[in-house]
Structure 1
Amino acid sequence: MTDHAPAIPPYWTRLGSFFLYPLSLEPLLACCGFGVLAGLASMFFVPANLVLWAVLLVATLRYGYKVLERTALGHLDDSQTLFDSAHGGKYLPYKQFVVIAVGLTICAYVASVAGPHAALVLLALFGLLLPANTMLLALTNELGESMSPPRLWALIRGIGMPYLGLCACLLLLSSGHGALFGLLASVVPAGLLGVLFGFLGGYFTIVMFRLMGYALYQYHGELGLAVDVGFERQATAIAPPDPVRQRAAQSAELLKEGRYDEAIAVARGDVVERPGDLSANLRLHRLLLAVPGQTQAMLAHARDWLPALTRVGQESYAIEVLEAIWQHQPDYQPAQAGAILPLATALLAARRGDGAARLIREFDRRFPGHADTPAIYLLGARLLIEHKRDEAQARRVLAALRQRYPESPAAAEAARLDELLDRLAAAAGGNPA
């Protein structure tokens, strides 16, 4: 993976997908096959039923190992698990039995020498190592290597603390089969209990092995595991193509080729399709601004789009659009009175006092009786103080505001601003005007 490769989502954020995976076509058919085999085993007597149960166990584990292996290699949308494997995995279930037998034998020996408590501690440690052993078996198909303490420790250290969470999830899943079977046994006909047992066993086995495979894929960089499908390709394969990005890329390519009219047509079509979308309108605005001969088209689009920007709180982009209009039409004023105050406030905050002053000039004459007039007066006083350093004129504006609109919130703010000017004048040793 490159430095800019997207991060693989952690396994704990994908638990739902692991439960859904066995319900896709091929795993579901496999689970149904396990159910049928278990149903047949429940119908026969010893020793035929024992043979069928053994075949079922081997078949379930063998399929689980193939799911684990191919998931670890990045085949998250795999549809060929049953017939495709890097090393076949034919004997992996038997090697798993050997590992379990060796572990239980060691625990029994420790129990005879050091007592049951030491054996229980060793058994718990064996349980913690079993997932790592299973993952190594799936990757290497080597019994000795999967039991090697250095290899086991390297895998656990590569995953880190999330390995303990993985073990906890696997422990819960291993008990889920029996718990769910117990819940459903009372409502399922007795003749189908064997089928249900086999189906649920296959289902939970596939979920567990899918989880282990995904954990290996998540940490394949730390583990030095070469994967077939990197997450860059994975994200591309999983996510549907984004038509918005496709059109943006198409427009950019047309610009590079000098096909300006076609690029503008693509951008304009995007705006027609998504008239309220910020990125589409911004792309069209900047394109019209950059292409020679498109001034009138830019002005027409900008004048229509500007009020919408102020309504959705995008004043920073509104300033960009407004200043682009002023470059070609210096006397332009928005026709909507409600757009003036937020735009002027944003211009003042951006330290563009001249633009704010131009915007609010003669607001009360252009929009007589408008509800924003007191706030515009207050903004004008702030402009006089902060940008013109004309406190005397600012006081006159504040006095007019308090006299004409005494009940407005702006009048109360004007009184506080007046008091602040008085304190500043007193501190400077002057007299209030």
Structure 2
Amino acid sequence: MPATRPASGIAPYWTRLPSFLLYPFSAEPLLVCVGLALLASFAAMMFAPLSSVLSIVVFVSLMRYGFFVLERTARGFIDDTRIVFDSAHGGKNLPYKQVAVALVGGTLCAIAGALGGPNAAWLSLGLLAMLWPANTMVLALDNDLGESLNPARLWEIASRIGVPYLGLCACLLLIFFSGNFLQGFLANAAPHALIVPLASFASCLSTIAMFRMMGYVLYQYHEELGHDVRIGFEEQSGFKAADPRAARASRIAELLGEGRGEEALKEARDAVREAPADFEAQARLHRLLGALPGHEKALADHARLWLPALLGARRGSQALEVFEAVRERDPGFLPANADDRLPLAEAAFKAHHYDAVKSLIKNFDRLFPGHRDIPSIYLLGAQLLLEQGRDEEQAERILKALQSHYPQHPVALEAAKLLELAARLRSVG
């Protein structure tokens, strides 16, 4: 059956299943698989404590690389394999968070089994297995353990993808069992000395293929999910000529390749002027202004105009990337509008970029007296003190002041919750 291309301009994931299976054999993933297989073999030859430590290192490294693959694919990098050093939030803790999720799931299955017997336990296991892709996607997008355990968030991912989500579960199950079958076959057919390295290699291949597939699904449905990408559908190779915007993107790339940066910049500015609501054109202009020397002021001016649109479209993570890219050139840069500071600071807090949070909320009440966001800014400041500074005493003062001055404001309820948290932290500290 020939592959079809939907109106979005990207081939559906089910037509690209062979490419996901072949992806681990490309240069970088293959080196990772070989390296981890050799390390697993070395671990198998060691005495018990060291063997366990090395096995954990292999598992964490594989999962971390899998999340890197998922994230970069989800951002639109379909045709390259530069993964390790280009993660938006780093993903360093994601393997541990996924282990925590697995422990929670195992506990729930055990409880179901204790209350309803083996059938209830198996039913719970099946339901949790169907939620695993959504859970993994939420971890990769948000880097937030709580959100990955939130049934409403998981349902949001699955329902926005729709029926194809069930197909994704089936494909992932197929890859998983294929990997297990290959491991079993190698255990029976390979020489004894090669069983561990070959089985580990097969496990790495199937794991990376699954993460690649999930990343591609996130990319295919990024508009439905409100997920920011770096390379849009029309910019992907193979169908650039079908879209005038893609033709212009190709033209800009050609000009850059020829070293004609200023002409490329003019083309990018023309594209934004003709379609100011085209976020991909805006992102292209932003990247060009940041890459070409001598355009620091233009970069800041463009960011001040573009940030409100990004925040209004709930693209907080992309707005944060824009903000921090400008701050690298101009440490004093801040959004022009007071209304933009709170949502941008919240995006920075969610991404654990605490220095950005501090710069956005510092002296907000003095700069914008009477602004409606002042209570929420104070609340965010207290959260920052608790999470990063571990200054429970100062946080408590701010939270009590919020309760006193804004008793009817929604922040009063959040302040009460944080006061309880601060008290617990003080008791254990």
Of the three residues 51, 57, 77, the one matched with 2:53 is: 51
The aligned amino acid for 1:140 is: D
For residue 79 of structure 1, report the CA deviation from its aligned partner.
Answer: 2.6
For residue 5 of structure 1, report the CA deviation from its aligned partner.
Answer: 6.7
Instruction: Normalising by structure 2, report the TM-score.
Output: 0.53
Cα distance in 2 for partners of 1:192, 1:184 equals 9
Residue 40 of structure 1 is matched in structure 2 by: 42
For each residue in 1:106-129, what CA deviation from the matched residue of structure 2 results, as whole angstroms up to 9, or x when unmatched?
Answer: 121122223332222222111111
Instruction: Normalising by structure 1, report the TM-score.
Output: 0.53
Cα distance in 1 for partners of 2:15, 2:81 equals 23
Residue 237 of structure 2 is matched in structure 1 by: 235
User: 1:92·1:141 contact (CA, 8 Å) conserved in 2?
Assistant: yes
Residue 11 of structure 1 is matched in structure 2 by: 13
**Identical counterparts, % of pairs:** 53
Of the three residues 219, 222, 228, the one matched with 1:220 is: 222
Residue 90 of structure 1 is matched in structure 2 by: 92
For residue 78 of structure 1, report the CA deviation from its aligned partner.
Answer: 2.7
Which stretches of structure 1, 4 residues or more, deviate above 4 A after TM superposition?
238-241
SS in 2 for 1:47: helix
Cα distance in 1 for partners of 2:196, 2:124 equals 34
Of the three residues 20, 31, 45, the one matched with 1:29 is: 31
Within a 5 Å distance, the mapping from 1:126-275 to structure 2 comes to 126-235=128-237
For residue 189 of structure 1, report the CA deviation from its aligned partner.
Answer: 2.6
Residue 291 of structure 1 is matched in structure 2 by: none
For each residue in 1:231-257, what CA deviation from the matched residue of structure 2 results, as whole angstroms up to 9, or x when unmatched?
Answer: 111135x8799xxxx9xxxxxxxxxxx
The aligned amino acid for 1:114 is: G
Change in 2 beyond 3 A, CA 1:240/1:191? farther
User: 2:187·2:199 contact (CA, 8 Å) conserved in 1?
Assistant: no
Cα distance in 1 for partners of 2:34, 2:197 equals 8
- Structure 1: runs of 5+ lacking an equivalent: 247-433
User: 1:38·1:197 contact (CA, 8 Å) conserved in 2?
Assistant: no
For each residue in 1:326-347, what CA deviation from the matched residue of structure 2 results, as whole angstroms up to 9, or x when unmatched?
Answer: xxxxxxxxxxxxxxxxxxxxxx
CA RMSD, aligned part only? 2.1
- Count matched residues: 238
User: 2:67·2:211 contact (CA, 8 Å) conserved in 1?
Assistant: yes
Change in 2 beyond 3 A, CA 1:160/1:6? closer
User: 1:133·1:147 contact (CA, 8 Å) conserved in 2?
Assistant: yes
The aligned amino acid for 2:145 is: L
Change in 2 beyond 3 A, CA 1:240/1:39? farther
Within a 5 Å distance, the mapping from 1:60-139 to structure 2 comes to 60-139=62-141
Cα distance in 1 for partners of 2:130, 2:81 equals 31
Cα distance in 2 for partners of 1:188, 1:166 equals 32
Cα distance in 2 for partners of 1:46, 1:240 equals 59
Change in 2 beyond 3 A, CA 1:231/1:78? same
Cα distance in 2 for partners of 1:90, 1:6 equals 33
SS in 1 for 2:237: helix
Change in 2 beyond 3 A, CA 1:216/1:183? same
User: 1:5·1:232 contact (CA, 8 Å) conserved in 2?
Assistant: no
Residue 375 of structure 2 is matched in structure 1 by: none
The aligned amino acid for 2:31 is: L
Cα distance in 1 for partners of 2:160, 2:74 equals 14
User: 1:21·1:207 contact (CA, 8 Å) conserved in 2?
Assistant: yes
User: 2:68·2:91 contact (CA, 8 Å) conserved in 1?
Assistant: yes
Cα distance in 2 for partners of 1:28, 1:138 equals 22
